[in-house]
A and B are shown apart, each in its own frame.
With several copies, the nearest count.
Chain A
């Protein structure tokens, strides 16, 4: 296992110490108990503002800790690598960011995340804090049916945290913030693929083996195998495999505008993401869909996995306005 770490046990807390040391103006890392910490916006709680918290396993950096700051999240709860955080963290985060207007829990649809956030919400409400939850489920690789735990929450989560963060900054109510969160989730779809597996530090070896001439299509973000394994293909074909199900599921029509998010899984360099972006632009152009906004980079990752995901978000004026709103976090910054 080749990693820049001190030990599998300390990787999360060491990385949090690094965030604290390099971004003291944006966030503070707060100890919840012996094993757990949370990342809280430097000026939290902001009076009268709905608090936004999210969380999930570590190993997806910059999500979520890298999105804590003005115009995005108020706190993030990092679990062990690929393991949902525990309710204690979510409760502590909820309390830390409640400025009296209630708290939105942004939860990616994985059984672990959902169950832990559920327990935390019960505990927070018992303490008199108003909590609303949005469960993101944008991954078209998984069928939302009785026979699955539902679609996974992936790339849309990042866009949602930004857009809803923009609204919350203006002092909107919890109900309004939760409504916009549902709208963003409804307007976006994603799909991902992997060229290589990744290695959970505590496990010490790759989660799955992938022959040199094969790739996984329809992966999540936890080093899980995907829906199917196929032979390596050109970027143009890979992009087609990801984009077509998204476009069809969203029912994108000629003349519509989207935010195109080409995301790296952690080990894929930017040059390859731009190759995928170029293929995606061709596909959208052929359908007369306009890329009105874009995001290219590794924002929701699976450790050092090589691969990418594509997220398309149908834009209207409201979503565009809050996407463009100022943001200042370690990983996303503009307008200030």
Chain B
């Protein structure tokens, strides 16, 4: 079964719940290597998204994701606002007019989102950012798609790969974002943005399980 607009709305709602639950955790991750606001920022953004959702609930998936993107741009601020905002805007362009997303559509959507983040943030894998969760997730989904693993499994493998990528940020030396100011002191800490990226992909896998 493909992802429907209803699934999309459930996904976004789940993200909002999960990010709210992890508000302290994400903020705590952002304290030693950032400025201690990532959880606050994301929670603020998705609260606003939830307020906006009813206006687009009956539209196509692209329209829903576009609202998510513009709302995040307008409410999150910080580095993550433009980055996640761009990610959802690019995802919305990739899903424009669609009411059903099959495996290839999901891969295409994530690919577009990741490209958006990399372009906006001038970031590459290995710099201890959200890119380090999204990149392996995309690779895992592509592989699952080639293996015809089915949508649920594809999403789960993507989420699991994001989690592994997130954990793999711990030993990295940050070279982008605030954490890069710390130089060697950034080593040994998990990146908050990679963590929120995993939580969002996990929310998608859980929604479509």
Contacts and interface: CB of A to CB of B under 8 A. Distances in A.
Q: Please say whether the chains A and B touch (CB closer than 8 A).
A: yes
B36 A200 contact: yes
A84 B37 CA distance: 11
Interface stretch (A127-135, A144-152, A323-331): A144-152
Contacts of B78: 57, 79, 83-84, 112, 116
A224 interface: yes
A207 interface: yes
Given A84-B78, A111-B121, A152-B181, A222 B44 contact: no
Contacts of A87: 73-74, 82
Contacts of A85: 77
A224 B75 CA distance: 23
Contacts of B185: 225, 227-228
A207 B75 contact: no
A265 to B, nearest CB: 14
Interface residues of B, number: 35
B171 interface: no
B74 A207 contact: no
Contacts of A88: 73-74
Contacts of B36: 82, 200, 203, 207, 223
B81 A224 contact: no
Contact of A112 (B31, B48, B77): B77
By secondary structure, the B interface counts as helix
A208 B32 contact: yes
By secondary structure, the A interface counts as loop
Interface in B13-49: 27, 31-32, 34-37, 40-41, 44, 48
Contacts of A225: 32, 182, 185
A83 B183 CA distance: 21
Given A84-B81, A203-B27, A207-B35, A224 B74 contact: no
Nearest to B78: A112
A107 B3 CA distance: 41
A65 interface: no
Nearest to A142: B181
A116 B180 contact: no
B72 to A, nearest CB: 9
A184 to B, nearest CB: 22
Interface in A74-131: 79-88, 110-112, 115-116, 118-119
Nearest to A35: B75
B125 interface: no
B176 A115 contact: no
Contact of B35 (A82, A141, A148): A82
A83 B41 contact: yes
B79 A112 contact: yes
A292 interface: no
Nearest to A141: B181
A208 B77 CA distance: 22
A203 B35 CA distance: 11
A57 B75 CA distance: 13
Contacts of B82: 87, 112, 115-116, 118-119
A152 B80 CA distance: 18
Given A116-B82, A207-B35, A225-B32, A80 B44 contact: yes
Contacts of B37: 80-83, 200, 202-203
Given A80-B37, A203-B27, A224 B77 contact: no
A220 interface: yes
Given A86-B75, A148-B175, A223 B44 contact: no
By CB atoms of chain B within 10 A, which of A82, A111, A141 has the most?
A111
Interface in A178-218: 200, 202-203, 207-208
B178 A224 contact: yes
13 contacts: A35-B44, A35-B48, A57-B77, A80-B77, A82-B35, A111-B176, A112-B81, A115-B79, A116-B78, A118-B82, A142-B181, A149-B177, A227-B185
Q: Which 8 pairs from chain A and chain B are nearest by CB?
A: A222-B35, A115-B82, A112-B78, A112-B79, A111-B79, A148-B180, A83-B77, A207-B36
